[in-house]
Structure formats: structure tokens, C-alpha cells
Structure 1
Amino acid sequence: MLMLLVSSVLMFFSGLIVFSSSRKHLLLMLLSLEFIVLSLYLNIFIYLSLNDYNYFFSMIFITMSVCEGALGLSVLVSMIRSWGNDYILTFSSLW
């Protein structure tokens, strides 16, 4: 169980490294954010299973993360329709 916990923490930090290093495309940033959310879900699931708690909070968390992913994809589609690509530096957020 300790190995699973260490691997989920390693997943979280590798997602943070990818998120901070790939600031060129919005799609890569969204994928790394989803990877971070999945590692947090794994951490919550491990914590709840070790302490014999109910898994209701994990279902709320996964529902909110799905909503966050849908919102990110809608922003990506809107950005591609407006500017033609998903490069972060090609658009000005002051418009």
C-alpha cells in the first residue's frame, strides 16, 4: 500500500512538472491538469480505503473533475474557433 501511495505522489509531482514546463499549447496544459486530478483522486481513494470511510466524497470529487474537464475542452474549442490554433501566446487576453 505504501508503494501505491508513493507512486500516486510521484504522479502528482510529475503532472506539476509537465504543467509548468509545457506552456505552449493549451491542450497539453489541460492534459497535465487532468493527470494531476487523477493522481489526486487516487490519493483520496487510498486515504478513504485505509481509514475505512465511505467513498461518497470520491464520487463528488470525480464529478467535479469531469465538469472541470468539460469546461476546459469548451474553452479549447472556443479558442480554436476564434484564433485558429491553441497556442497560448498568439492571443491577447485583454480583448
Structure 2
Amino acid sequence: MNMIYTSILLFLFSVWAFARQQKHILPMLITLEACMLSMLLLVFSISMISTCSGFMTIIILVFAACEAAYGLSILTSLLRLRGNDLILSMS
């Protein structure tokens, strides 16, 4: 039960950090990854308590990997195009 509270607290903290990061893209991607990892931890701890299989943890892990790859490709394209990762320079 302690792991569930920890993962919920980690998720809320990462959402708060995501709301504060509005200048650069790289910290936003890192906080999104923290959100995904906290959701993975939450689903894993719930599946350990109940009799459910860990299939949902694999799905969340795949989504997190795809999100990270997609975010890094956008960041790389933006850095090549603009030279920085400032959000204000996108408009």
C-alpha cells in the first residue's frame, strides 16, 4: 500500500513540475517520462496486490518508450531547425 501512495505522490509531483516547465522542451520531456514511470509503478504495484497479470505494465512500458523516442526525434528536429529548444522560438 505504501508503494501506491508513493507512485501517486510521484505522479502529482511530476505533473506539477510539468506545469512549471514552459520554457524549454527537454525538461518537459523529462517530466513527461517521470509521469509515465510513476504510472508504471502504480500499475505494477496494483497488479502485485490483485490477482491481475502484469500485462498492463508491459503496455505502459511500450507507450513510454514510444513517447520518449517521439519526443527525442521532435527535439532533435527542433534543435537542427532553430538551434535551441526554447518554446518561445517555435512561433
TM-score of the pair, normalised by structure 1 = 0.92
Question: Could you give the per-residue CA deviations for residues 24-71 of structure 1, whole angstroms, max 9, x where no partner exists?
Answer: 110000000000000000010011111121112211210111011100
Query: Residue in 2 aligned with 1:36?
Result: 35
Query: Residue in 1 aligned with 2:14?
Result: 15
- Amino acid paired to 1:20: A
How far is 1:22 from its partner?
1.0
Cα separation, 2, equivalents of 1:5 and 1:64? 21
Aligned length: 91
Question: What percentage of residue pairs aligned between the two structures are identical?
Answer: 35
Instruction: Tell me which stretches of 4 or more aligned residues in structure 1 moved more than 4 Å.
Output: none
Matches within 5 A, 1:15-94: 15-92=14-91
Contact 2:36/2:60 (8 A) holds in 1: no
Structure 2 residues without counterparts, runs of 5 or longer: none
TM-score of the pair, normalised by structure 2 = 0.96
Structure 1 residues without counterparts, runs of 5 or longer: none
